Amino acid sequence: MITVVTYGTFDLFHIGHYRLLRRAKSLGDRLIVGVSTDEFNNKKGKETYQPFEERFRIVKSLPFVDIVIPEVSWEQKINDIKEYSVDIFVIGDDWRGKFDYLSIYCKVIYLPRTKGISSTILREKIRNSNKGSNIIGSFCI
């Protein structure tokens, strides 16, 4: 069995997230997804619109995601790879080169992002919208 792992915040869940996770699963038999906790995001200086519990539930509901775990630190990746016998680490190509150090534990693959969509783009649209939170519904799946 080939085990794949990836990590992310998955705030304002959108089609780019969906596609990345679906492609990650296509690389193996089991997909493990680490969802960044609110505390970890705060340490990274990252603001989220959705609390961890909601983001966790959304990812867990996807039919091609087998296991969801909280991501609490940068350092946990090596432990997770060992604990879950991970064969492939997958992340978006905006992180290219940042996780090459994991290649001594498993294969590292940087997947292309979906063009024209990201949580950053959605946050900007929300900030610029007079509608506020109403715009979220039109971008999330």
Structure tokens at 69: 């775990």
For this structure, is 44 an active site residue?
yes
Selected catalytic residue, list 25, 43, 46, 77: 46
Catalytic residue selected from 44, 60, 98, 131:
44
**Contact yes or no for 93/111 (Cβ under 8 A):** yes
Dist CA 31 CA 28 (whole Å): 7
- CB 91, CB 110: distance < 8 Å: yes
Cβ atoms 89, 96 nearer than 8 A: no
Measured distance CA(123)–CA(108) in Å, rounded: 29
107 is a catalytic site residue = no
- Residues serving a catalytic function are 44, 46
